[in-house]
Amino acid sequence: MNAYVPILVLGALGAAFAVFSLVLAAIVGPKRYNRAKLAAYECGIEPTPQPEGGGRFPVKYYLTAMLFIIFDIEIVFLYPWAVHFDSLGMFGLVQMLVFVGLIGVAYAYDWRRGGLEWD
């Protein structure tokens, strides 16, 4: 049980800091509300009315999100490989080259098909 005490202390400190920050912001923060502050943020563009059943988003939004997730996961896989690069040897190098090559082929395919165009 003694091994978990530092983890519990760190978690308690983090939670206390989060609660303290929220309470302090509510006490010290400005209280002047107006219509512009209460409106939903739309990047400076007036929001357009949506149909009753909700609007349809173009598929391009979902494709961009999927591309971001794929390349983000690639970077997450590169970190442990870079940390243990010396101990993996030639096998680790070849496996990572294959992995990066496959991701590169997918990237080139998507680039060629116009998935990265912001029309």
Write the DSSP string, 30-63. -----HHHHSPP-TTSPPPPPPTT-PPPPHHHHH
Of 102 and 117, the structure prediction assigns the larger pLDDT to: 102
Amino acid identity of residue 28, one-letter, is V
**Its pTM surpasses 0.85:** no
CA-only gyration radius of the chain, Å: 24
Q: What are 34-55's pLDDT values in tens digits?
A: 887 777 666 666 666 766 766 6
